[in-house]
Chain A
Amino acid sequence: MKICVLVKEVPDAAVQKRIDPSTKRLDRSGENNLNPFDTHAIEAAMQLKEGGALQVDEVVAVTMGPGSAARALQKAVALGADRSVHLTDDALAGSDVAATGLALAKVLESESPDLVLLGQQSDDGECYTIGAVVAEHLKMPSLTQVVKMDVDGGRIRCERQAEYGYDTVALSLPAVISVGDAINEPRYPSLKAIMGAKKKPLDTKSAGDVGIDAGQVGEPGSKTAVLALNPPPQKEAGEIIEDEDTAETVEKIVAWLEERKLI
C-alpha cells in the first residue's frame, strides 16, 4: 500500500511573521522550514511502514507551494519518505482553505493513496481544517487530532481527545488522518539521509497536470475574502521579572501576590 503525507513549508519560528498590506496575504518570503506538525505525520508513516502490521510499499511526501517549498519536501524525504510530489503553479497563489483543499485532493487523486496523513495544523495559518476538506473531496473517511494509531485488521484504530474525553474510532482504508504532536517523537534525520535526500525522485506538477481548473483555485476559486486587518484590542503589558537572583525573584513574586490579596 501507499501512504501519502501532506507537508507544508512554513516561516521559521524565529522569523517575525507579517501580512503583506497590499495583498492581505501572509508574506511568505523568508520561509524555509518544514511545518513542525508535519514531522509527526512523517514519523507516523515511518512507524506504520516499519511496524510491519501493514505492507507499506511506499511513503510519498506531497506539498503545494512556490518553488522554495521543494526544501520542505527534501526535509520530508530526509526523514524517511521514499519520494516526493510538488504541486506548484502561479494559479494556486492566494488559495483559501477551500481552494487549497481542493487542489491537494486533486494532486492526491493522481497518486491513489491508501492512506493520507497530515499534521493537525500548520505553524502559520493554524487551520486544523484542511484534512476534513481533502477527505470530503476524496470521498474518504477522516479523523483529525489523532494521538494514537494502531493497525486493527484492515482498519486503523485511532484515539483522540474530543469534547467529552477520549474517543476511539476505527477507520476503513483508504482514509485521511491528521495527527497531533503527542502521537510520537519524530526522529532526527541521519547525515546519510540528508545527503541522500536530493537523489530521491521529486515530481513537479502544474495545476493542469493533475486536472485542476484554474478557476477553482487561487483568488478566483476562493470563497472568502479578507476585507481588512485591524490591530487587536490592546491588553496592558504585564510586569516582567528576569530571574537573576532566585531568592530575590521569589520575594518579588510573594510581594506581588500579597498586594493582590492572593495569599
Chain B
Amino acid sequence: MAGILVYALHDDEGNFNKNSLGALSEAAKLAGELGTEAAAVVVGDVADDKVAALGNYGVAKAYRAKGVPEGLAQPIVDVMAKVMGDNGFSYALFGGGLLGFEIGAGLAARLGGGVTMEVTNVKVDGGKLVSERPILQDSEIADVAFVSEPGIIIGRLNAFDVKESGGSAAIEDVEVELSEWSTKAELVTRGEQRGADVDIEAADVLIGGGRGLGEAEGFKACEELADAFENGAVAATRAVVDAGWYPYAAQIGQTGKTVAPKLYLAVGVSGAIQHKVGMQNSENIVAINKDANAPIFEFSDLGIVGDLNKIMPKLTEALKARG
C-alpha cells in the first residue's frame, strides 16, 4: 500500500495529544482521496483500549512499539522508519509540536525523503500530496510537492481539525531495534510543571504579556488590568516564561496552550508565529506595542502604537472607574 503513517503523541497516562488526533483525522481524509489507508504509530506500553480507540479518528490500524520510550525523537525515528519500510508507506504526517518537528526531520534524513514543515493545509494533486506552507511571516503561501517518495509533512499547530468518525483500530505490535545513537539521550524528567497553576482557558478576557513588558514586574500591571475585567486572566509568551517572568501554565503558543477568549489584549507581544498559532482564533484581538512594525498589528482588530507603561495603568484606571 502507499498509505500515510501518523505519529500519535501521548502523555505518561496514555492520553493522546489533540494535534496528533487532528493529524490522524486529516490523514484518514487524505488517504480516502488517494484511495489508500492511514495508520497510527504509538510508542510505549499504552493500553489496548486506548490504542484501539484511535480508530475513532479514521485509522484502521495502529502500530505499537511497546518497548520504545515516548518523549524523545530519535527512538521514534527508528520505529517509524521500520514501519514505513516494512509496510511501504509513502507519507508520514505530524500534527504541530516540537517532537513532530524533530521526528519528521530525522525521518526524512533517514529515509532520504523530502520534508515540508509549518504546513497549514494538505491537498491531493494528481494522486500525490501537496503541502501548503506559509512563508515570510505568512505573507505568501507556497505549494510544495515531493519530488520522490517518501514525503514527510509536519503540520503547524492546530492546522488539522479533530474529526470523530467512529470505529476501532486493529493493533499490530512491532519490535524495533534502536540505532546506537538513539540510545545516547536519556529523558531524565518529562512534563515538569513550573510556577503557579493558573487557568487561562476559562477566561473571557486574556491579557497576554510579552518581552516588551521589559521585566517580570511588568506582569503586575497586566494582573491589575485583568482584574478590571469581569472574567480576566493573564497569559504569557514563551520568551517571558523561559525567562522566568511568569508561570508555564499561562503560556500560549506552539509549546503552550491554545486559547480563543472573547478578548485577547496583547501587551509588549511582537506576534511571532509561535505565539500567533495559540491565540489567533480569539474573537477580538487588541495589541499595544511601541514598534509600529510588530507582526501582531497584522492580525489585530485594534492596534495601539505606543508605550505600554503609559497606556496600561491609565486603561486599568479608566475601566475600574466605570465600576
Does chain B have a CB within 8 A of A139?
A: yes
Stretch at the interface among B53-61, B164-172, B215-223, B293-301: B293-301
Nearest CB in chain A: distance from B213 CB, A: 15
Chain A 118-138 residues near chain B, CB threshold 8 A: 125-133, 135-137
> Is B50 engaged at the interface, CB distance under 8 Å to the other chain?
no
Contact A243 B185, beta carbon cutoff 8 Å: no
Say whether, besides A19-B135, A133-B105, A163-B255, A172 and B185 are in contact (CB < 8 Å).
yes
Per DSSP, are chain B's interface residues mostly helix, strand or loop, or mixed?
mixed
Chain A interface extent, by class: 35 or more
Query: Which residues of chain B come closer than 8 Å to A256, judged between CB atoms?
Result: 286, 302
Tell me the complex Cα distance, A175–B74, Å.
12
Q: Are B305 and A240 in contact (CB under 8 A)?
A: yes
A257→B147 contact, CB < 8 A:
no
| CB closest residue in chain A, given B290 | A243
A19, A225, A241: the one contacting B305 at CB < 8 Å is A241
Does B80 count as interface, using CB distance less than 8 angstroms?
Answer: no
Q: Is the CB of A97 within 8 A of B74?
A: no
A188 at the interface (CB under 8 A from B): no
Of B136, B139, B243, B284, most A-chain CB atoms within 10 Å: B136
Say whether B147 contacts A223, CB under 8 Å: yes
A241 to B307, CA, bound (A): 12
Q: A165 touching B262 by the CB < 8 A rule?
A: no
How far, in Å, is A145 (CB) from chain B's closest CB?
6
Whether, in the assembled complex, B246 has its beta carbon less than 8 Å from a beta carbon of chain A, the answer is: no
Whether B304 pairs with A167 at a CB distance below 8 angstroms is no
Q: With the chains together, A235 CA to B74 CA distance in Å?
A: 39
In the bound complex, CA of A136 to CA of B78 (Å) = 11
Best-surrounded residue of A140, A231, A238, A247 (most CB of chain B within 10 A): A238
* Chain B residues within an 8 Å CB radius of A166: 189, 191-194, 248
Q: Is A143 an interface residue (CB 8 A)?
A: yes
17 A-B contact pairs sorted by A residue (CB < 8 Å) = A129-B105, A142-B73, A143-B72, A143-B102, A161-B238, A161-B248, A163-B9, A165-B191, A167-B187, A171-B186, A224-B151, A225-B147, A232-B139, A232-B141, A241-B306, A253-B286, A257-B286
List B residues at the A interface (Cβ < 8 Å).
Answer: 9, 11-12, 17, 71-74, 77, 97-99, 101-106, 108-110, 112-118, 130, 134-148, 151, 154, 179-182, 184-194, 205, 229-230, 238-239, 241-243, 248, 251, 255-256, 262-263, 273, 284-286, 292, 297-307, 310-311, 314-315, 318-319, 322
Could you list which residues of chain A lie within 8 angstroms of chain B, going by C-beta atoms? Answer: 17-19, 24, 26, 96-98, 101-102, 125-133, 135-137, 139-145, 147, 157, 160-172, 175, 180-182, 222-232, 235, 238-243, 246-247, 249-251, 253-254, 256-257, 260, 262-263
